[in-house]
Structure 1
Amino acid sequence: MPTAYPHPQKHLGHAVNYLTGNHEYDIPKETVDGEIAQLRERLESKPSFNPNLTFDPEKHLIKDPSAKVLSLDDLKIKKTRAAPVCDFAATYPFPLLTQEAVDMVLWEALRPEIVEKYGRLPNLAKSATRLDFHVGGHCSRWAPFTQALWNSSELREILESFTKVKMKPLFSAGHFNFSLAEKDATEPPREELLKKYSEQSNGDDVPSSLGMHYDSSTFALVIMAELDENAIGGETGIVTGDNKFVRVPDPKVGSATLIQGMVLKHVATKPVSNSNRVTAVAGFCVAGPEKLDNSLLTSVKPSILPRQNYNEFYNDWVQFRLTNLAEHILHYREQLKTGEQFDQRDFIAHCQEMESYLHKCWDEMEAHYNPPYPPKEFHISYDEL
């Protein structure tokens, strides 16, 4: 009998049990009781550790927006899969969080109950092991420090100094990509690792905790939460308009990289050394009632990302989108002036834009359209878009 929801197939890139929690992707007990517990205990053993720490932007944010900024033109990107909201492409890493803040957002994600409910192995990584996993969806409900960070007006002010457009965090802002070092593993000589690193010139093939992709959010803020001092690799890799694979250089713990991930093809690379690499990633979109965001479901819906909790994700998505649309309609209604000649064509065009926005609220839902993943556009050049 036909069901209300299609049953995705793993060979198409889909997680198949998205309605019931995708427990086939649960993080192995060996990892939970071993490397994860070890990392959490290291955080809790610090003399300054405080599980009730509250976010203070004056104390926890480093306000130094002096990073090198790259435009889409700088990266030779002329064609994009979606219309960019500005010419901003990416920043080089810039200092953003103090060590205390880094430790807190990491600890909030590593609590046992959070790892159990919101932690899952990746289904779209390259060369993944039991030590590569995602944790996400917990911030708005169970991580008050991290949620306050994402919603901080001081943080938005820093980010907007790069993009020059008004921004706000997405409904599910905040997830973590983990690639942990294996305890007691024997590592090859450093010269051998450096040679291996230098040979990684194809972004589609480079080992990663999240393979080559475009984001479904307009902007992605990538904060380095853990990276061993002598690690080789682990940077964010991006593809330029002339199809070259480059890495955003020299990320430090507490530093951040901001990218317009909706139009910039990129990958979260794994270190070639046996090193911890953990990033906290938050999605942002354009803000203000005069504009509608261009967020998608493509790469974040529950059948694609095993870490997404079905009921929480879709309730949050629908509330976010309908609230944005309602605020936009109210703003537009107030802009209409009486006593002037009414512009039918302008009104029709605006209604079509709002109709399109509402349509995008549901047209990528699994019950309607669930094509193979990743989409072809993730693996073709910009010129072919």
Structure 2
Amino acid sequence: MPTAYPHPQKHLGHAVNYLTGNHEYDIPKETVDGEIAQLRARLESKPSFNPGLTFDPEKHLIKDPSAKVLTLDDLKIKKTRVAPVCNFATTYQFPLLTQEAVDMILWEALRPEIVEKYGRLPNLAKSATRLDFHIGGHCSRWAPFTQALWNSPELREILERFTKVKMKPLFSAGHFNFSLAEKNATEPPSEELLRKYREQSNGDEVPSSLGMHYDSSTFALVIMAELDENTIGGETGIVTGDNKFVRVPDPKVGSATLIQGMVLKHVATKPVSNSNRVTAVAGFCVAGPEKLDNSLLTSVKPSILPRQNYNEFYNDWAQFRLTNLAEHILHYRDQLKNVEQFDQKDFIAHCQEMESYLHKCWDEMEEHYNPPYPPKEFRITYDEL
């Protein structure tokens, strides 16, 4: 097949050497042996630490959280890049995980072998340093506690109270965004930090561990896994329909926010203060054989995110999409058995929908089409979509 950019180029937003692991984005040894090792040692030194801990929803989930919910209408978003699956936009922070659960998912991500294989520096951040990095793709293979959390029916029940649609986790669900504090750095006076924070009114220019973007998953669950006391900044930032930049307020360790990230332009902001800020992020989509998910590759394929392992990522993607399509075809076939009058137009429309879904399984792959990143839709207002 013809390809627009057979060799991804940095100036187009593409990671290089994505087929062989993007090792030029490896986390520096200074960070691995310093701040990461210290954070891991702090977790392991806790009296309650248990490397064999298993996930228990009764013990580790806060099951009756309440939070303010905002709809797309509330945010004045009338036009979207793809059709939303519901009117839900986002929640304010709500308590979700106990401290023990937070410590465990963080520790599973910070083990040396995981950091080496799945940890990479960002290529799409603002004002990133050696202390800003991503770790992801490890959960389904090497993090049993975290994987059990993402696949927990009890977690989905909590999230579905907000969205009012059936949900399930995406393939390879779960990654971590890290912005760590610099040791022995001189901190400006708090008044100066607050002034700097208030001046950050343009979401495209706010320092971030992941710049302004739309998600390639329908929903994103963002859990605060590490946040220093007295941190200034570090919230999830959202652009509203009238082009205002707002932040989801009052993040706390163990709390979470849920967003329909496929249609909500947002950014993972870095703290203004010299503070640790770590989030665990899991992608979800609509569930049920009667519906096909609207997942994309745009912002998560290996040439865009250096943390993605090429072979694991695409095998997981193919299994996920083909399984969804197979279940949907079987569901639709069973429905047809019970119709009294066969409707050709309806059948054609349904086949076209399934054909479009299969097409979206490959049309954003690097081998076929790998345009400059971010795409135009990430840089324009909602009204211009």
TM over 0.5, shorter chain: yes
What is the deviation of 1:63? Answer: 1.2
Structure 1 alignment gaps of length 5 or more: none
Superimposed CA distance per residue, residues 142-181 of structure 1 (whole angstroms, 9 cap, x where no aligned partner): 0000000000000000000000000000001100000000
SS class of match (1:224): strand
Q: 1:339 to 1:266 in 2, by over 3 A?
A: closer
What is the deviation of 1:212? Answer: 0.1
In the aligned structure 2, how far is the partner of 1:303 from the partner of 1:338?
Answer: 46
What is the deviation of 1:66? Answer: 1.2
What is the deviation of 1:131? Answer: 0.1
Contact 1:65 1:161 in 2 (8 A): no
What is the deviation of 1:4? Answer: 12
User: Which stretches of structure 1, 4 residues or more, deviate above 6 A after TM superposition?
Assistant: 1-5
Please list, as runs of the form range in 1=range in 2, the aligned pairs for 1:1-385 lying within 5 A after superposition. Answer: 6-337=6-337, 340-385=340-385
What is the deviation of 1:89? Answer: 0.1
Superimposed CA distance per residue, residues 15-72 of structure 1 (whole angstroms, 9 cap, x where no aligned partner): 0110000000000000000000000000000000000000000000001231000000
What is the deviation of 1:352? Answer: 0.1
In the aligned structure 1, how far is the partner of 2:144 from the partner of 2:91?
Answer: 27
Contact 1:94 1:255 in 2 (8 A): yes
Q: 1:338 to 1:49 in 2, by over 3 A?
A: closer
- CA RMSD, Structure 1 to Structure 2 (Å): 1.3
SS class of match (1:383): helix
In the aligned structure 1, how far is the partner of 2:379 from the partner of 2:339?
Answer: 53
In the aligned structure 2, how far is the partner of 1:215 from the partner of 1:4?
Answer: 23
In the aligned structure 2, how far is the partner of 1:262 from the partner of 1:238?
Answer: 12
Q: 1:185 to 1:83 in 2, by over 3 A?
A: same
Contact 2:241 2:382 in 1 (8 A): yes
What is the deviation of 1:283? Answer: 0.0
Q: 1:338 to 1:111 in 2, by over 3 A?
A: closer
In the aligned structure 2, how far is the partner of 1:316 from the partner of 1:98?
Answer: 30
SS class of match (1:367): coil
Length, aligned pairs only: 385
Superimposed CA distance per residue, residues 257-307 of structure 1 (whole angstroms, 9 cap, x where no aligned partner): 000000000000000000000000000000000000000000000000000
Q: 1:99 to 1:371 in 2, by over 3 A?
A: same
What is the deviation of 1:362? Answer: 0.3
In the aligned structure 2, how far is the partner of 1:157 from the partner of 1:339?
Answer: 33
In the aligned structure 1, how far is the partner of 2:43 from the partner of 2:88?
Answer: 36
What is the deviation of 1:78? Answer: 0.2
Q: 1:166 to 1:339 in 2, by over 3 A?
A: closer
What is the deviation of 1:364? Answer: 0.3
Q: 1:35 to 1:353 in 2, by over 3 A?
A: same
Superimposed CA distance per residue, residues 165-218 of structure 1 (whole angstroms, 9 cap, x where no aligned partner): 000000011000000001111111111000000000000000000000000000
What is the deviation of 1:229? Answer: 1.1
Superimposed CA distance per residue, residues 94-123 of structure 1 (whole angstroms, 9 cap, x where no aligned partner): 000000000000000000000000000000
Q: 1:34 to 1:354 in 2, by over 3 A?
A: same
Superimposed CA distance per residue, residues 306-339 of structure 1 (whole angstroms, 9 cap, x where no aligned partner): 0000000000000000000000000000001357
Contact 2:4 2:368 in 1 (8 A): no
Q: 1:129 to 1:317 in 2, by over 3 A?
A: same
In the aligned structure 2, how far is the partner of 1:342 from the partner of 1:31?
Answer: 64
SS class of match (2:355): helix
Structure 2 alignment gaps of length 5 or more: none
Contact 2:5 2:370 in 1 (8 A): no
In the aligned structure 2, how far is the partner of 1:61 from the partner of 1:337?
Answer: 42
What is the deviation of 1:5? Answer: 8.1
Contact 1:64 1:94 in 2 (8 A): no
Contact 2:3 2:368 in 1 (8 A): no
TM-score where L is the length of structure 1? 0.99
Contact 1:137 1:313 in 2 (8 A): yes
In the aligned structure 1, how far is the partner of 2:384 from the partner of 2:270?
Answer: 28
What is the deviation of 1:379? Answer: 1.1
In the aligned structure 2, how far is the partner of 1:95 from the partner of 1:122?
Answer: 28
What is the deviation of 1:3? Answer: 9.2
Contact 1:13 1:304 in 2 (8 A): yes
Contact 1:178 1:277 in 2 (8 A): yes
In the aligned structure 2, how far is the partner of 1:192 from the partner of 1:3?
Answer: 49
What is the deviation of 1:340? Answer: 1.6
SS class of match (2:40): helix
Identity %: 94
TM-score where L is the length of structure 2? 0.99
Q: 1:52 to 1:338 in 2, by over 3 A?
A: closer
Contact 2:15 2:123 in 1 (8 A): yes
Q: 1:147 to 1:186 in 2, by over 3 A?
A: same
Contact 1:122 1:133 in 2 (8 A): yes
Q: 1:339 to 1:299 in 2, by over 3 A?
A: closer
Q: 1:379 to 1:4 in 2, by over 3 A?
A: closer
Contact 2:4 2:371 in 1 (8 A): no
In the aligned structure 2, how far is the partner of 1:304 from the partner of 1:92?
Answer: 29
Contact 1:194 1:232 in 2 (8 A): yes
